[in-house]
Structure 1
């Protein structure tokens, strides 16, 4: 939870709703309940209302999720005690290979390469 809070402070928050959205996504990832319908419900909004809010900011729920996952992944990779499999599970990926593919798309590096360069 402390790591999540530290990440929230690093993210640009243009509105109070954005901050609440980021917190809800982080909590959803911790509980494996991160789908947009669950998050919208936590925010007392309909899924469509949330989508419209994000559209006004030229982003999508999926993009917001990926931004948070990348921030978390970078933080987790700096902990040498966490295996890639554990990190994948913490980020709610069903398999380590899915996490590795996503991370390479985001950064151009594999998680192992990023870890070597940044620890």
Structure 2
């Protein structure tokens, strides 16, 4: 049986999705991208929207369509080993390869380097 969500049920889910994807990069990067793009502003804006909005949205839609909260379920139809590798690369990219070094560099630049 199909149930339609009310506005008051959709609103918190939408706000939670927005807050989970919005970060400092979404506030700082677009103006810098627009300035650096110069005359190619529209192609840069389209590329940013596709990669910064479209791809995360496709990921949410894919997870909703599979009705599964396990990331392996998305890649299992390709090959089980591919699923393990892609999930492992995603977790490593999110944490040790980018986020942790960036956090350390920003903390150093802001808190230690000026002194």
Q: Which has the larger radius of gyration?
A: 2
- State if a TM-score over 0.5 links the two structures: no
Structure 1 length-normalised TM:
0.29
Structure 2 length-normalised TM:
0.30
